[in-house]
Amino acid sequence: MNDSPSAILRKWFERVWNAGDESVLDELYGASAVAHGQPATPIPGPEGFKPLYRSFRSAFPDIRIEVTHALSEGDLGVVHCRVTGTHTGDGLGVPPTNRPVDFTGMTMARVAGGRIHEGWNVYDFLSMYQQLGIEPPKPV
């Protein structure tokens, strides 16, 4: 089995997001892991990440995240992704628009022992909100 950082990130997107298997969060996201980038405040551990995950999966039940490019160097993995889905749920705090979205982003993560220990995310959520025709949330 390939446990390179980029292979772990590919597994993360395939199993957690595309297959919708929330239990994989506990398997691949370290107990003391921290995700940075979106939202603006760091998200600690699997239990901290689950509300964001559930909200986004609720808003886009058909979400598909395609890893288009992947690199590893040492304990760091970087993936470029294409995100598609249809806003048919209320997970964004607004009624469903039933509009499709198609946007891109990148994740870089520090991986050790087959688990993500720190991640940095930069996704084009402004484009997503524009495609949905809704205002993005105001910064806190």
Q: What is the pLDDT of residue 140?
A: 63
- Residue numbers of the domain that contains 105: 5-132
Structure tokens at 9: 């990130």
What amino acid is encoded at 131 in this protein?
Q
Sheet with 29-36, strands from edge to edge, namely 43-44, 29-36, 115-123, 100-112, 76-86, 64-73
pLDDT at 16 over 80: yes
Whole-angstrom Cα distance, residue 80 to residue 107? 7
Q: Report yes or no on 105 lying in a domain.
A: yes
Q: Report yes or no on 38 lying in a domain.
A: yes
Q: Report yes or no on 104 lying in a domain.
A: yes
Q: Note the pLDDT tens digit of each residue in 79-119.
A: 999 999 999 999 888 999 999 999 999 999 999 999 999 99
pTM, two decimal places:
0.92
Q: Report yes or no on 68 lying in a domain.
A: yes
Q: How many domains does the chain have?
A: 1
Q: What is the pLDDT of residue 120?
A: 96
Q: Note the pLDDT tens digit of each residue in 27-86.
A: 999 999 999 987 678 899 999 999 999 999 999 999 999 999 999 999 999 999 999 999
Question: CA 1, 53, 26, 80 torsion: positive or negative?
Answer: positive
Q: Report yes or no on 62 lying in a domain.
A: yes
Q: Report yes or no on 139 lying in a domain.
A: no
- Please state, rounded to an integer, the average pLDDT across all residues of the chain: 94
Q: Report yes or no on 137 lying in a domain.
A: no
User: In whole angstroms, how far apart are CA 31 and each of 2, 57, 76?
Assistant: 22, 22, 18
Q: Report yes or no on 109 lying in a domain.
A: yes
Q: What is the pLDDT of residue 87?
A: 98
Q: What is the CATH number of the domain that holds 69?
A: 3.10.450.50
